[in-house]
C-alpha cells in the first residue's frame, strides 16, 4: 500500500514538472515569436517600409500584447499617415484600441483628437473627450482639447456686404444693391430682392419695399398692410405697431401700414406696452398711444437687439453721463457705456477705458479687461483686443481666438455672423452646438 502511494506521488510530481516544462516551452515560443515580429518591424521602420512594419507590429501584438508594441505600431501609423491619408480609418481604429487597452494614457487620446481635428471630425472628438471628462478625467490637456472641440466651427461660403442682426430666427442680408433674408443657418429663407428689408417681427411680419412700393408681410406670405411710404429705416413689428423712419424722422404705423403717431429722432419697438423714443435730444418711455409714461428724461436708453427697452422689468438708461440699470424703480450701477440686454442676462459694460460684464442685478461677473465687448448671447460673447474680435465663455476665457474684423451675436442655432478681412460678412456655425 505504501509503495502504491509512493508511486502515485512520484507520478504526480513528474506530471507537474511536465506541465511546467510545457508551459515554459510555450512561453518561450511565444516570446520568441513576439521578438521576431518586433525585430522585423524595426528593420522595416529603418527602411521606411511603414506599411509592412504596421503588419509586423500587429502580429507581435496578437502574439503578446505589450504597451511597447502598441506605441511602436502607432508611431508607424503616424509616419504612414503622413504618406497617405487613405489609412485614416485603420489609424483611428488602432488608436481606439489603444485607448480601450490603456484608458488612462492621455497621449493616445491626444493623438486621436489631433487626427479628428485634422479631418474636421470635431463632433467625434467632442463626444470622446466629453465622455472622458464626464467619467472623471481632469487632465489639463484633455480639458483644453475638449474646449477646442466644443468651440470649433464651420464657415459658410456665402458672403454678404451688410447684415441686420438675427431677430425671430431671420437675418436681413444685403448684396449688390438688394436685400433678402436667410435663416439662423445662413440658408435662404426669402429670395426676394428688396430695396429695403426690415427685421423680422411678431408672427414673422416683415417690412419690405421695392419698385412696387412697401408691404407688411406675415410668416405665411400674406400681405397684411401697405404703408404708403418708402422706408429709410424700421424697427420690428411688435404689439401691433412698427416704428418706421421716413423723411428723416420715426413714427409708428399699425398692422395695416397706416400712420398712428410720432415724429421722433429715433423710436424703438414695443414690449409690455412700453417703447423708448428720442425727441429733441432726450430719451423717454412712452405707451402704445404715444403718451409719456413719466416726465423722466434720459441722455440715452439702451435697447435690446429687437429694439425693445425692457427686460424682465429691468431698464437700462444713461443719466449724468453714466449708465445704470433701473430695477424695481431703483437706479443700480454706474458705467461709462453699456451694450444691449440679451436673454443670457450678462451685459457688457464699460468702466473707464475697458469693458467687462455684469449680471441683471448689476453685480460684476467678469472684470473689465477688453478694449470692446458685446453682451452674451447663447453662452458666448464677442470681445475685441484692439485689433481683432474673438469670443469668450461665461468664465471670461477666450474660447474662439481673436481672428475677425467684426462679430455679431450667436443665435439659438449657435450660428453667428462675423466679418472677415475681406470686409464681407459670413456665418460661422459651431460643430457642437
Average pLDDT for runs of 10 along the chain of length 433:
52 52 68 95 97 97 95 97 95 96 93 96 96 90 95 95 97 96 92 93 96 94 96 97 98 98 98 97 98 96 96 96 96 97 97 97 98 98 97 97 97 96 94 93
Q: What is the DSSP letter of 221?
A: S
Q: How many residues does the chain have?
A: 433
Cβ atoms of 93 and 111 within 8 Å: the answer is no
Q: Residue 190 has what pLDDT?
A: 85
User: What pairs with residue 153 in β-bridges?
Assistant: 430
Three-state DSSP string of the chain: CHHHHHHHHHHHHHHHHHHHHHHHHHHHHHHHHHHHHHHHHHHHHHCCCHHHHHHHHHHHHHHCCCHHHHHHHHHHHHHHHHHCHHHHHHHHHHHHHHHHHCCCCHHHHHHHHHHHHHCCCHHHHHHHHHHHHHCCCCCHHHHHHHHHHHCCEEECCCCECEEEEEECCEEEEEECCEEEEEECCCCEEEEEEECEECCCCHHHCEEEEECCEEEEECCCCCEEECCCCCCCEECCCECCEEEEEECCEEEEEECCCCEEEEEECEECCCECCEEEEEECCEEEEECCCCCECCCCCECEECCCCCCCCCECCEEEEEECCEEEEEECCEEEEEECEECCCCCCCEEEEEECCEEEEEECCCCEEEEEEECEECCCECCEEEEECCCCEEEECCCCCEEEEEEECEECCCCCCCEEEEECCCCCEEEEEECCC
Q: Residue 5 has what pLDDT?
A: 59
Q: Residue 32 has what pLDDT?
A: 93
Task: Return the domain boundaries, the chain.
Answer: 36-151, 195-300
Q: Residue 57 has what pLDDT?
A: 97
Q: 36-151: which CATH number, 2.40.50.320, 1.25.40.10, 3.10.270.10, 2.40.10.410?
A: 1.25.40.10
Q: Residue 25 has what pLDDT?
A: 55
Q: Residue 46 has what pLDDT?
A: 97
Query: Which cell is 20 given?
Result: 511546467
Q: Residue 8 has what pLDDT?
A: 56
- Whole-angstrom distance, CA of residue 139 vs CA of residue 146: 11
Amino acid at each position: 500500500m505504501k509503495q502504491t502511494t509512493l508511486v502515485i506521488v512520484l507520478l504526480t510530481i513528474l506530471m507537474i514538472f511536465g506541465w511546467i516544462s510545457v508551459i515554459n516551452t510555450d512561453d518561450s515560443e511565444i516570446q520568441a515569436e513576439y521578438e521576431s515580429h518586433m525585430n522585423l518591424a524595426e528593420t522595416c521602420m529603418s527602411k521606411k517600409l511603414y506599411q509592412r512594419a504596421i503588419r509586423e507590429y500587429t502580429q507581435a501584438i496578437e502574439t503578446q500584447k505589450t504597451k511597447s508594441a502598441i506605441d511602436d505600431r502607432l508611431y508607424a501609423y503616424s509616419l504612414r499617415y503622413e504618406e497617405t491619408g487613405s489609412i485614416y480609418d485603420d489609424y483611428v481604429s488602432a488608436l481606439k484600441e489603444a485607448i480601450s487597452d490603456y484608458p488612462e494614457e492621455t497621449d493616445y487620446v491626444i493623438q486621436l483628437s489631433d487626427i479628428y481635428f485634422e479631418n474636421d471630425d470635431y463632433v467625434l472628438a467632442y463626444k470622446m473627450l466629453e465622455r472622458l471628462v464626464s467619467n472623471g478625467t481632469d487632465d489639463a490637456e484633455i480639458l483644453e482639447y475638449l474646449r477646442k472641440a466644443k468651440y470649433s466651427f464651420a464657415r459658410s461660403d456665402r458672403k454678404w456686404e451688410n447684415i441686420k442682426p438675427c431677430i425671430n430666427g431671420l437675418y436681413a442680408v444685403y448684396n449688390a444693391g438688394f436685400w433678402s433674408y436667410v435663416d439662423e443657418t445662413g440658408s435662404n429663407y426669402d429670395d426676394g430682392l428688396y430695396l429695403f428689408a426690415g427685421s423680422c417681427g411678431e408672427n414673422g411680419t416683415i417690412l419690405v419695399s421695392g419698385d412696387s412700393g412697401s408691404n407688411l408681410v406675415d410668416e405665411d406670405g400674406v400681405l397684411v398692410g401697405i404703408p404708403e411710404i418708402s422706408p429709410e429705416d424700421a424697427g420690428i413689428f411688435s404689439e401691433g405697431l412698427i416704428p418706421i423712419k421716413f423723411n428723416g424722422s420715426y413714427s409708428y404705423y399699425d398692422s395695416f401700414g397706416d400712420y398712428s403717431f410720432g415724429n421722433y429722432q429715433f423710436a424703438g419697438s414695443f414690449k409690455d406696452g412700453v417703447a423708448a423714443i428720442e425727441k429733441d435730444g432726450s430719451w423717454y418711455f412712452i405707451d402704445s398711444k404715444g403718451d409719456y409714461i413719466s416726465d423722466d428724461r434720459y441722455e440715452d436708453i439702451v435697447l435690446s437687439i429687437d429694439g425693445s427697452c425692457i427686460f424682465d422689468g429691468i431698464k437700462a438708461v444713461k443719466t449724468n453721463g453714466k449708465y445704470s440699470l433701473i430695477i424695481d424703480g431703483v437706479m443700480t450701477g454706474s458705467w461709462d457705456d453699456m451694450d444691449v440686454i440679451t436673454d443670457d442676462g450678462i451685459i457688457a459694460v464699460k468702466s473707464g477705458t475697458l469693458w467687462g460684464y455684469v449680471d441683471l442685478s448689476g453685480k460684476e461677473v467678469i472684470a473689465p479687461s477688453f478694449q470692446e465687448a458685446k453682451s452674451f448671447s447663447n453662452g458666448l460673447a464677442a470681445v475685441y483686443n484692439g485689433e481683432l474680435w474673438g469670443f469668450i465663455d461665461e468664465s471670461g476665457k477666450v474660447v474662439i481666438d481673436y481672428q475677425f474684423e467684426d462679430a455679431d451675436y450667436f443665435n439659438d442655432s449657435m450660428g453667428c455672423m462675423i466679418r472677415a478681412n475681406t470686409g464681407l460678412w459670413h456665418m460661422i456655425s459651431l460643430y457642437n452646438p
